[in-house]
Amino acid sequence: MAKKLFEINPHLDRRALAEEFAANSRVQIRDVLTEETAQEIRAVLASATPWGIAAQAGIANPPGPQSLRANDVATTGGRARIQELATASFRAVGTGDYGFLYGHYPMVEGYLGKWNEDGPHDILLEYLNTPEFLSLAAEVTGETGLVKADGNATLFGPQNFLAFHIDSHVAEGWRVAYVLNMTIDEWKPDWGGYLNFFNEDGDIVQGFRPRFNSLNLFTVPQPHSVGFVPQFAPVGRYAISGWLRDR
């Protein structure tokens, strides 16, 4: 076990990162954590996370976002439900509607519900809410009113995706979205799963490869998606993602 589960790389060029963010409203910080703690977090996500499923099939149609916990998906009925959710989400996006499908562990819900009290996911969420992490985000983004972070562990495996959307929940305190990537080494471009950003014409203007030990930061609202992961891709696009908030 590492002495720490989360330690920011002390050698980051924060001024250069802030300049890039100011120019583009987004940045990918590579080698954001020390190598030791990054490896430890990836081990938690790869081997010690009870993965459930998050899915949605359309905006207007009930029941909206769906979440199944790990013990739900392990049953015969749960596996059938996953197939139903996958089919519905594919159909929705195929008709131009919104949808998503990916593995997840809701860290805030788990923390509040004491699913594994003082376990590694609770500790990670607490680290994301330390002054050290929030001040890094504030220094890079210029958002000085950030007071807390929420978080979800996510796993985009084969046939997973997050369709085009803008994260318009500014009234709820969302200021900056973040993705802490802990993927397998050398994630290949053909495996999809890129964080893509779009202009008003629907063209991709920038795509962030899911690199191990990298932190994506971007202001919201901003049009983006996570690209479809094809059937032949390996399991391993691990991340912790969420929003940095001012309330």
| Separation in Å, CA 60 to CA 57, 109, 165, 176, 181 | 9, 25, 14, 26, 31
Q: How far apart are CA 233 and CA 193, in angstroms?
A: 10
Please give the torsion angle defined by the CA atoms of residues 117, 123, 126 and 127, in that order, rounded to the nearest 10 degrees: 180
| Kind and range of the H or E run holding 164 | strand 161-165
Helices (H), the chain: 14-24, 35-47, 70-73, 76-94, 107-113, 120-128, 131-141
In a domain, 8, yes or no: no
Query: What integer best gives the mean pLDDT of the chain?
Result: 95
How many structural domains does the chain have?
1
- For 69-125, write each residue's pLDDT tens digit: 999 998 999 999 999 999 999 999 999 999 999 999 999 999 999 999 999 999 999
In a domain, 113, yes or no: yes
Domain containing 160 — which CATH number? 2.60.120.620
pLDDT at 1 over 60: no
In a domain, 124, yes or no: yes
In a domain, 173, yes or no: yes
Which residue has tokens 């084969």? 158
In a domain, 54, yes or no: no
In a domain, 59, yes or no: no
- The pTM of this model reads 0.95
The single-letter code of the amino acid at 207 is G
pLDDT at 177 over 60: yes
pLDDT at 170 over 70: no
**What band does 4 get if pLDDT is binned at 50, 70 and 90?**
confident
Q: How far apart are CA 54 and CA 149, in angstroms?
A: 20
Q: Domain of 211?
A: 14-46+96-245
137-149: average pLDDT: 96
In this predicted structure, what is the pLDDT of residue 173?
Answer: 86
In a domain, 63, yes or no: no
